[in-house]
């Protein structure tokens, strides 16, 4: 794994602004979503097809609250530079899910869903040096135990 000083962030100013805005979005909507999990999803009268879908999700009993909780945690971690790479990876499944959700169900939120996904993808690109070790093959460096011997278990 490269030392921390060799890990850089691409486009640092754009990354900072995107990271803070995305963190605010995730944290705020995460709290709102947890509220829906506790208080129920607000629906119109009569409920639209989208409202009926959200009510069906609500009946699962856990999905809405836990999605909101994970969004809030990821948004909170994203405020801090040391935990931002982890938070970005945590938010990727959510961002991809929202992209599919707005494409197939909630067309009225398409702009927000696209911006959400683009922000996450941009941040992954900007922090890619942090993720590079995930894709690296095994290293050829020898393993030493605490007494200095090679290949000790």
61-112 tens-digit pLDDT: 767 888 999 999 999 999 999 999 999 999 999 999 999 999 998 999 999 9
Compute the radius of gyration of the chain from its Cα atoms. Answer: 20
Q: Which two tokens stand for residue 82?
A: 């040391």
Whether pLDDT at 145 is above 70: no
Q: Between 137 and 10, name the one with better pLDDT.
A: 10
pTM of the entire structure? 0.82
Helix/strand/coil for 25: helix
DSSP state of 107: G
Q: What is the mean pLDDT of residues 48-59?
A: 85
Mean per-residue pLDDT over the chain, rounded: 88
DSSP state of 108: G
């Amino acid at each position: 794994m490269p030392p921390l000083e060799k890990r850089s962030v691409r486009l640092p100013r754009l990354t900072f602004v995107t990271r803070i805005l995305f963190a605010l979005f995730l944290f705020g909507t995460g709290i709102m979503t947890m509220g829906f999990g506790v208080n129920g999803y607000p629906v119109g009268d009569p409920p639209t097809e989208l409202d009926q879908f959200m009510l069906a999700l609500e009946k699962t009993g856990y999905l809405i609250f836990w999605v909101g909780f994970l969004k809030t945690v990821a948004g909170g971690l994203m405020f801090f530079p040391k935990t931002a790479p982890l938070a970005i990876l945590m938010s990727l499944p959510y961002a991809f899910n929202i992209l599919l959700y707005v494409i197939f169900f909630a067309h009225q939120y398409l702009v927000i869903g696209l911006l959400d996904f683009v922000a996450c993808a941009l941040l992954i690109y900007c922090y890619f040096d942090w993720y590079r070790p995930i894709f690296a093959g095994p290293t050829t460096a020898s393993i030493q135990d605490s007494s200095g011997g090679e290949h000790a278990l």
